[in-house]
Amino acid sequence: MALNGIQIFKLTPKKNCKECGCPTCMAFSMKVAQGALELSKCPYMSQEALDSLSEATAPPMKSIKVGAGDNEYTLGGETVLYRHEKTFVSKTRYAVSVCTDMADDAAEAKLAEVSKVDYERIGEQMKVEMVYVNCGSGASADKYVELVKKAAATGRTLVLGVKDVEIAKAALEVCKDGKPVLNGADASNYAEMSKVATDAGVVLGVSGANLDELYDTVAALEKSGNKNLVLDTTGATIKETFANTVEVRRAALKNEDRTFGYPSIVNVSRLARDDRHMAQALASVFTMKYGSIVVLPGMDYADALPLYGLRQNLFTDPQKPMKVAPGVYPLNGADENSIIVTTVDFALTYFVVSGELERSGVPINLVINDAGGLSVLTSWAAGKFSSGSIAKFFKEEVEGKLKCRKMIIPGKVAVLKGDLESKLPGWEIIVAPREAVELVKFFKDMQANGEL
Ligand code: SF4
C-alpha cells in the first residue's frame, strides 16, 4: 500500500539539512510519496526507517535492465497508465525474430537486414535494438546455439525464446555477457529456468497459459527470490494478447499489485504470422499499450518510419518542451567569419534546419535562440522570438564570439527584418525561404551571386 507524505515524514530524520535537494524533510517526503524522488537521496535515513519504507515507497512497476554496454536498455518503471497523466518513462524496444525453423539463408538474410534500419531523428538514434531468437520445437541445442551466435554477431541485445532448460544453458554459454533476456519460464519449468537465468545473471521472461497461471508463476518466482523478470503477455489471439497486456499493466499501476509490476514482451510476429501489414498495425497498438519489448517479423524503412515516429512522440515528456541548448553551432567547418543562420530552440526545427544546412555544404554558424522550445511562428506569436529577444541574445552571446555581421532569419518571421536592423546596427539581415527544404537552393543561389 502506498504511503502518503505525512506517513513518510514521520520516519525522516527531520534535520532540514537540504542535502537531498529539498528545502525541508517535509518537501522531501512529499516528493518521495509522488514517486519523484527516491528514499536513498537522504543520506540520514536510519536502516530501520529504510526497511519499513522501501517496500511501501517502491514504484509499482520495476525498472529492469537488459543488454550490456551501449546496448543496455531499461524497461518498465512506469507510473501512469496514460501519457497525459505524467509521462511514460522507458520506451518500447523493438526486436526482429528469427527461428531455428527458418532456412539458414532466410535467417541470415533477416539478420543482415537488422542493421539496415539505422537513422537519426530529432537527436535520437532509431534502430532495431534487439533480436528474438526462437527455438522451434524439435531443434537441437547445436542448431539453436548456432543461430544464437549468428544473432549475437549483429551486436544487438538478444531475447532467447527457449523452453528447454539444457538448450537454454548451452545458448547462454555463448551470449550471457551481452545480458540477453531468457524468455523461457512457465508453470512447468520456472524453478529450473530461474536457476539458469540467475546463474548467468540475466533477466528471466515468464509466460503462462492464462493470466492466473502467469500470476501464480511470477508469485512463485518472487518467493524463491527472483525479481529480475519480464512477463510475456502474448496470448493465442490478438484479442487475448491485448487483454493480457492491458490487464497486467492496470493491475500493477491501478491496483498496486506488484506481482504484475514488471515490463512485458509482446510477440507480434506470432500473432501476425506472415502478414507484414498486420504486424505493423499490431506493433503500433502494443507500442501504445503496453509492450516493453515488441517482437516483429522484420523491420524495413516502411515499417520503421511510422513506428519510430509514434514511439518518439509517445515517450517524450509532455511537461518538457523538446528543445536544444541555445548557442552557436558551427556547421560544415564554419569559423568566426562564416555567415550566420538563426532560428529557435525547438528540437524538430533545429534538426530539420541543421540537416538542410549541412546538406548545403556551406560553412555556416547556426545560432539557436532561447525561444522556450517552441516552433518559429508559435514562439514569435508568444513574444519569445522577437526582434528584442534576438538582438539581446546576439549582443550577449554572439557578437563577442563571431566576426561575421550577416544574419539569415527564418522566412516565416520576415517581418522582424526592419526591427532587427535598427536594434543591431552594423548587421545585415537577410530573409531565408519559408521552408527549410528550400535552404540548399537558397545557398547555391547566394554562392552563384557572390553573396557568400
Ligand atoms: S537530506 Fe534528509 S534530513 Fe536532510 S532535508 Fe533531506 S530528508 Fe531532511
Q: Specify which residues 160 forms β-bridges with.
A: 133, 182
- Residue 19 CA: nearest ligand 1 atom is 1
- Residue 25 CA: nearest ligand 1 atom is 8
Q: For 291-326, how does the pLDDT look when each residue is reduced to its tens digit (9 = 90+)?
A: 999 999 999 999 999 999 999 989 988 877 788 999
Distance CA 291, CA 285 (A): 9
Side-chain half-sphere CA neighbours of 4 within 13 A: 1
Q: Is the pLDDT of residue 1 over 60?
A: no
Confidence at 452, pLDDT banded by 50, 70, 90: confident
Residue 50 pLDDT: 86
Distance (angstroms) between ligand 1 centre and the Cα of 22 equals 7
User: Atom 7 (ligand 1): residue with closest C-alpha?
Assistant: 25
Looking at every residue in the chain, the average pLDDT score rounds to: 94
Q: Do 387 and 411 contact (CB within 8 A), yes or no?
A: no
Its pTM stands at 0.78
Q: Is the pLDDT of residue 387 over 90?
A: yes
Confidence at 40, pLDDT banded by 50, 70, 90: confident
Distance CA 329, CA 402 (A): 11
Q: For 245-275, how does the pLDDT look when each residue is reduced to its tens digit (9 = 90+)?
A: 999 999 999 998 999 999 999 999 999 988 9
Write out the three cell numbers for 309: 515516429
Confidence at 3, pLDDT banded by 50, 70, 90: confident
Distance (angstroms) between ligand 1 centre and the Cα of 41 equals 8
Distance CA 379, CA 410 (A): 12
Residue-by-residue DSSP string for 247-271: HHHHHHHTS--GGG-S-EEEEHHHH
Q: For 193-219, how does the pLDDT look when each residue is reduced to its tens digit (9 = 90+)?
A: 999 999 999 999 999 999 999 999 999
Distance (angstroms) between ligand 1 centre and the Cα of 23 equals 8
Q: Which amino acid is at 272?
A: A
Distance CA 422, CA 430 (A): 14
Within 6 A (CB) of ligand 1 lie 12-13, 15-20, 22, 25, 28, 42, 44
* One CATH from 3.90.1280.20, 3.40.50.720, 1.20.1530.20, 3.40.50.11600 for 327-448: 3.40.50.11600
Distance (angstroms) between ligand 1 centre and the Cα of 77 equals 25
User: Atom 2 (ligand 1): residue with closest C-alpha?
Assistant: 42
63-314, CATH topology level:
TIM Barrel (3.20.20)
Q: Is the pLDDT of residue 2 over 70?
A: no
Distance CA 429, CA 452 (A): 14
Residue to mutate (ligand 1; options 14, 30, 44, 57; most atoms within 8 A of CB): 44
> Residues spanned by CATH 1.10.15.40 within the chain?
5-57
Number of other residues whose CB lies within 10 A of the CB of residue 357: 25
Kindly state the average pLDDT of the residues 230-243.
98
Q: For 85-128, how does the pLDDT look when each residue is reduced to its tens digit (9 = 90+)?
A: 889 999 999 999 999 999 999 999 999 999 899 888 777 889 99
User: Atom 6 (ligand 1): residue with closest C-alpha?
Assistant: 20
- List of residues 6+ apart from 268 with CB closer than 8 A: 279, 282, 283, 286, 294, 295, 296, 297
Kindly state the average pLDDT of the residues 35-43.
84
Distance (angstroms) between ligand 1 centre and the Cα of 11 equals 11
Write out the three cell numbers for 247: 490487464
> Residues spanned by CATH 3.40.50.11600 within the chain?
327-448
What is the architecture of the domain spanning 5-57?
Answer: Orthogonal Bundle (1.10)
Percent of the chain whose pLDDT exceeds 70: 99
Residue at grid coordinates 527455438: 135
Distance (angstroms) between ligand 1 centre and the Cα of 192 equals 44
pLDDT higher for 249 or 50?
Answer: 249
Distance CA 283, CA 269 (A): 9
Distance (angstroms) between ligand 1 centre and the Cα of 28 equals 7
> Residues spanned by CATH 3.20.20.20 within the chain?
63-314
Q: Specify which residues 265 forms β-bridges with.
A: 232, 293
Residue 281 pLDDT: 97
CA 127 from centre of chain: 11
Residue 119 pLDDT: 86
Residue 51 pLDDT: 80
Q: Is the dihedral of CA 18, 20, 25, 31 positive or negative?
A: positive
User: Atom 3 (ligand 1): residue with closest C-alpha?
Assistant: 15
User: Atom 8 (ligand 1): residue with closest C-alpha?
Assistant: 25
Residue 47 pLDDT: 87
**Nearest residue to 228 via CA among 96, 75, 90, 79:** 75
The maximal CA–CA distance of the chain, rounded, in angstroms, is: 80
Kindly state the average pLDDT of the residues 270-298.
95
